[in-house]
Amino acid sequence: MNNQVQIRKFKKVLVANRGEIAIRVFRALNELGITTVSIYSKEDRYALFRSKADESYPLNPEKGPIDAYLDIDTIIKIALAANVDAIHPGYGFLSENPDFVDACERNGIVFIGPSSQIMNAMGDKISSKKMAIDAQVPIIPGVDYAIKDIDTATKIAAEVGFPIMLKASNGGGGRGMRIVNTMEDLEKEFNEAKNESKKAFGDDKIFIEKYLRAPKHIEVQILGDNYGNVVHLYDRDCSVQRRHQKVVEYAPAFSIPDETRQIIFDSAIRLSQAVGYRNAGTLEFLVDADNNPYFIEMNPRIQVEHTVSEEITNIDLVQSQILVAEGYPLDSDEINIKSQDDVHCDGYSIQTRVTTEDPANNFMPDTGEITVYRSGSGKGIRLDGGNAYTGAVISPYYDSLLVKAISHDRTFAGAVRKSIRTLQEMRIRGVKTNIPFLINVLHHPTFVAGKCYTTFIEETPELFQ
Ligand code: ADP
């Protein structure tokens, strides 16, 4: 199958991102003997990640703190001047932007991720739903087209039955979703959703889905090479969310029945193969109270919570991304995944996202200087960070993630205890953090039983005590 193998070894790679994920990718590159290049905004000129790279270059200081990292022309110019072979996009920023993929390809730079065609097909929620239907993957009742006017919205809502969810096709990061409970609310919510989507995501494509009450969010990590081979690295349970954003994630999704998990794995592989997916990707599903799984979207990039899949499978996903982009097949000696049977699931891993959000103040991000920073550590603990150290200044410009604390143990209960112990060891002064809140989540019997659902946090006031 792999007699057409073409390898292009990378000597130098630019990471078009910042913070913890930039450092995570530099580490992977470094271990592969590849020179690392960082880019940074004016606001990040003292940030730690830039000094972790072998070379580092400033972005356009005229652009804002976010826009600097979205400035394709400047990034490509820097990449060409530094003579890099490839760009890793991390997550967020340009990681799901097909124009960026095309710009890389036009300039002879390998984009470490899927092709722009796949990104176009899977990047927006409506078209990925269409692909799922074609691949006979179960989806949530609703429509797979953009709803233009209120008359159509009314008709569809009546068919689907309330409550429904209005979703922006290009929404992301938990934004661009509205729950509508009654027909009386529909027109107002529909118009507002359209306007909001236009402003936030550049178009007003809205579709309707049945709103599932208290589902679990289960996702499958997949890895594909350039030759049509795809494996999964088991599932993650990301049901502990606040405002549709993940707070604690773990792998594997042990509390879902095996039959349901098998449907999800098979669906993920089938859909990935149907679209010719390559590189790392995640297929997200919601599972209802009767354990029916429904595909919701695909993320064509590395995710914040990739770490827990790495822990249970002992596969370095970021290194695998790089090797796949160099052209290595999964069964090559470098990647060494000869078949799905080679992907073993060993123990349990939990990731908690330590942020500078203040749980006592509606999770407002706190800023300022960290005056004391001591982390936890010990057997079975991995910390992926980079923004946090004594003397670091937390700015208001970027997301509030300080460090990801990841535990790994033979049992889930053991992983819970390790996570709690590590969080208790941490001393962070000068900025408020969500650590006490995370500890409350980890102690909660519903969490320990693996029974959390997506509205668990908002329905559990004792977590805030
Ligand atoms: P985003 O791209 O913003 O991450 P997703 O489509 O992945 O959005 O959904 C994020 C979360 O929103 C889900 O994990 C779930 O909690 C909630 N959600 C999305 N669709 C539905 C739905 N139809 N019913 C109930 N909850 C939903």
Q: What is the pLDDT of residue 462?
A: 93
Q: What is the pLDDT of residue 2?
A: 53
Per the prediction, the chain carries an average pLDDT of: 96
Q: What is the pLDDT of residue 272?
A: 97
How much distance in Å is there from the Cα of 352 to the middle of ligand 1? 20
As a whole number of Å, the CA-based R_g of the chain is 22
How much distance in Å is there from the Cα of 340 to the middle of ligand 1? 29
- Any idea what the Cα angle at residue 402 is, between residues 396 and 403, rounded to 5°? 165
Residue 402 near residue 355 (C-beta atoms within 8 A): yes
- Inform me whether the pLDDT recorded for 221 exceeds 60: yes
Rounded to the nearest 5°, which phi and psi values hold at 332? -70, 160
How much distance in Å is there from the Cα of 174 to the middle of ligand 1? 7
Element (H, E) at 31: helix 19-31
Confidence of residue 202 (pLDDT cuts 50, 70, 90): confident
Q: What is the pLDDT of residue 45?
A: 95
Element (H, E) at 317: helix 317-326
Sequence-distant (≥ 6) Cβ neighbours of residue 340 within 8 angstroms: 231, 232
Residue 211: DSSP 8-state: P
Q: What is the pLDDT of residue 56?
A: 98
SS3 of 397, please? Answer: coil
Ligand 1 pocket mutation pick from 244, 282, 303 by most atoms within 8 angstroms of CB: 244
The whole-angstrom distance between residue 36's C-alpha and the CA centroid of its chain comes to: 23
- Inform me whether the pLDDT recorded for 1 exceeds 80: no
Percent of the chain, pLDDT > 70? 99
Query: Rounded to a whole number, what is the distance in angstroms from the first to the last CA of the chain?
Result: 58
- pLDDT tens for 103-112 read 999 999 999 9
- Inform me whether the pLDDT recorded for 157 exceeds 70: yes
Two structure tokens written together for 129: 């739903």
How much distance in Å is there from the Cα of 134 to the middle of ligand 1? 21
Two structure tokens written together for 48: 């730690």
SS3 of 52, please? Answer: coil
Closest-lying ligand 1 atom to the alpha carbon of residue 455: 16
Measured CA distances, 99 to 78, 125, 238, 372 (Å)? 17, 18, 30, 42
Instruction: Mark the binding-site residues, compressed into ranges.
Output: 125, 209, 244
How much distance in Å is there from the Cα of 316 to the middle of ligand 1? 27
- Inform me whether the pLDDT recorded for 172 exceeds 90: no
Supply the ipTM of this predicted assembly: 0.97
Closest-lying ligand 1 atom to the alpha carbon of residue 174: 3
C-beta neighbour count of 81 within 10 angstroms: 9
Percent of the chain, pLDDT > 90? 95
Ligand 1 pocket mutation pick from 127, 177, 242 by most atoms within 8 angstroms of CB: 177
Catalytic residues: 301
pTM: 0.96
Confidence of residue 113 (pLDDT cuts 50, 70, 90): very high
Closest-lying ligand 1 atom to the alpha carbon of residue 173: 3
Residues 245-266 have a mean pLDDT of 98
> What residues are in contact with ligand 1 under a 6 Å CB criterion?
140, 165, 171-174, 177, 209, 211-212, 215, 217, 241, 244, 284, 286, 296-297, 454
Instruction: Mark the binding-site residues for ATP, compressed into ranges.
Output: 125, 209, 244
Residue 6 near residue 37 (C-beta atoms within 8 A): no
